[in-house]
Copies of this chain bind each other. A is one copy, B any other.
Amino acid sequence: MGRKKIGVIGTGRIGKLHIQNIISQIPDLQIVAVADIAIEDNRKWLESIGISELYVDYRDVLSKPEVDAVIIASATDTHTPIAVDAAIAGKHIFCEKPIDRTIENNEKVMKAVQDAGVLFQTGFNRRFDHNFARIRQLVADGSVGDVQIIRVTSRDPAPPPIEYVKVSGGLFMDMMIHDFDMVRYVSGSEVKRVTALGANLVDPRIGEVGDVDTAVVALELENGALAVIDNSRQAVYGYDQRLEVFGSKGQVVAGNDTPNNVEYYSSDSISRDKIYDFFLDRYPDAYVNQFKAFARALNGEIEVPVGIVDGLRATQISLAAGQSLREGKSITMQY
Residue positions of A touching B, CB distance < 8 A: 23-25, 50, 130-131, 134-135, 138, 143, 145-146, 148-149, 151, 153, 155, 195, 197, 199, 201-202, 214-216, 218, 220, 224-228, 230, 232, 234-238, 240, 246, 248-275, 328-330
Contacts and interface: CB of A to CB of B under 8 A. Distances in A.
Given A148-B214, A254-B261, A329-B329, A271 B269 contact: yes
Contact of A155 (B135, B155, B201, B246): B246
A270 B266 contact: no
Nearest to A268: B274
B248 A252 contact: no
B266 A134 contact: no
Given A24-B24, A135-B262, 14 more contacts: A130-B259, A131-B261, A148-B214, A149-B216, A199-B224, A199-B225, A216-B226, A216-B228, A232-B246, A235-B265, A237-B250, A240-B265, A254-B262, A269-B274
11 contacts: A131-B261, A134-B262, A226-B230, A236-B266, A237-B251, A252-B264, A255-B263, A258-B270, A267-B274, A268-B274, A269-B271
Contact of A251 (B214, B246, B264): B264
A334 to B, nearest CB: 17
Contact of A143 (B135, B218, B259, B264): B264
A62 B268 CA distance: 48
A134 B259 CA distance: 10
Nearest to A329: B329
A250 B274 contact: no
Contacts of A151: 151, 153, 230
Contacts of A218: 195, 197, 216, 218, 228
A230 B228 contact: yes
